[in-house]
Amino acid sequence: MSPSTSNVHRNPFPGLRPFREDEEYLFFGRESQVDAMVDKLAATRFLAVVGTSGSGKSSLVNSGLRPALHGGLMARAGTSWRMAQFRPGSNPLRSIARALAEDGVLFRDYRAEGLTLTEIVDTTLRMSKLGLIDIYEQAQLAEDVNLLVVVDQFEELFRYRQAAPGQQQTVMGVGEDAIAFVNLLLEVKQQTRYPIYIVLTMRSDFLGDCAQFPGLAEAINAGQYLVPRMTRDERRSAISGPVGVGGADISPVLLTRLVNDVGDNPDQLSILQHALKPHLETVGTFGRQRAAGPVALRGNRHDGPCAGSTCG
């Protein structure tokens, strides 16, 4: 994807935060992973992107999966997608209702007397486990329009497991709203009439908690994508690609050193990008860097983003 005129003025390294969808042009080294995720989602309609903290789960969805779907990589689904993305937090039903009620997701320029659209969606979702299917039907979208529901940081469902005031709890300490929320997602997986797809991102250390919800462990087993370690070539691309997009060069010696510093630890790549970010803060810096020659390594130290350290 070619960067727009406005995009080229952005810092090419997001630092410790995840990549956003509009930063696809800066997202390098994960092409094979995105292909595998699309294939899994097409086969199951329920994709659980699982990995350790810092492994790039959210970035894979934001800058990998979402643009790939818009681009038609899932051939049988076409290129027409509506997408709702949210974090469940302490009130997952309210969170999904807000995401679905955003203008352009299911409804455009919606006007109603009395209840807000969020309240209408929330009420529909709470009526039965078919609530997500029901609100999709009510939207009366064209037959070729797909809906992608992305639940980012699904583990929040377990971290906020205390039921809200007035709710009943199961013997596992899970609130009724959390159970109702999971049932909405699972019911979508059971049907094929409507093109609704579910994607979760979740830390791998919470996998065992999924057994608290009937049917969730089975759905995740069928649709799990465990984020693999990046290969050496993928790490090299993830470092040099954004630098090149920004208009700078990086010396082969420094690039090799940085790839070695990252090693096989998935956390290290985001830490390295965070260290590179202030050094290459603007496109003007990139232009000056290219005029002065590539960022290089002098002696046993990095000359540039991680001066005085090995970024490790």
The more confident residue out of 278 and 309 is 278
Is the pLDDT at 294 greater than 70, yes or no? no
- Confidence category of residue 169, pLDDT binned at 50, 70, 90: low
**What average pLDDT does this structure show over 239-253?**
80
Separation in Å, CA 186 to CA 198, 223, 241: 9, 12, 38
- pLDDT per residue as tens digits for the range 190-206: 999 999 999 999 999 99
Average pLDDT value over all residues in the chain: 82
> Taking the CA atoms of the chain, what radius of gyration do you get in angstroms?
22
**Cβ count within 10 A of residue 30:** 23
Output the CA angle 246-250-256, nearest 5 degrees. Answer: 130
**Pairing relationship of beta strands 296-298 and 301-303 according to DSSP bridges:** antiparallel
Q: Residue 262: what pLDDT?
A: 72
**Cβ count within 10 A of residue 153:** 18
Is the pLDDT at 297 greater than 60, yes or no? no
Task: Look up residue 36 and give its two tokens.
Answer: 């595998």
The more confident residue out of 69 and 115 is 69
Q: Residue 281: what pLDDT?
A: 53
Buried b (16+ CB within 10 A) or exposed e, 248-283: bbbbeebbebbbebbeeebebbbbbbbbbbeebeeb
Inter-residue contact 250 to 294 (CB < 8 Å): yes
| Chain-centroid distance, C-alpha 210 | 20
Q: Which of these, 289, 93, 69, 266, lies nearest to 179 by C-alpha position?
A: 93
For the entire predicted model, the pTM comes to 0.81
**Residue where the block lists tokens 């700078």:** 248
Is the pLDDT at 161 greater than 70, yes or no? no
Separation in Å, CA 18 to CA 211, 260, 268: 28, 22, 14
Q: Residue 10: what pLDDT?
A: 58
Q: Residue 229: what pLDDT?
A: 86
Q: Which of these, 87, 50, 91, lies nearest to 178 by C-alpha position?
A: 91
Task: Look up residue 75 and give its two tokens.
Answer: 């051939």
Q: Long-range contacts made by residues 289-294, C-beta under 8 angstroms, separation at least 24? A: 289/248, 289/249, 290/247, 290/248, 290/249, 293/249, 294/248, 294/249, 294/250, 294/251, 294/254
Q: Residue 68: what pLDDT?
A: 96
- pLDDT per residue as tens digits for the range 44-53: 999 999 998 8
Q: Residue 266: what pLDDT?
A: 61
**What average pLDDT does this structure show over 138-162?**
91
The more confident residue out of 188 and 171 is 188
Inter-residue contact 62 to 199 (CB < 8 Å): no
Which DSSP string do the residues of 85-151 spell out, in sequence order? EE--TT-HHHHHHHHHHSTTTS-SS---SSS-HHHHHHHHHHH-TTHHHHHHHHHT--TT-EEEEEE
Identify any residues that bridge with 47 across adjacent strands, giving them in sequence order: 199
Q: Residue 211: what pLDDT?
A: 94
- Confidence category of residue 291, pLDDT binned at 50, 70, 90: very low
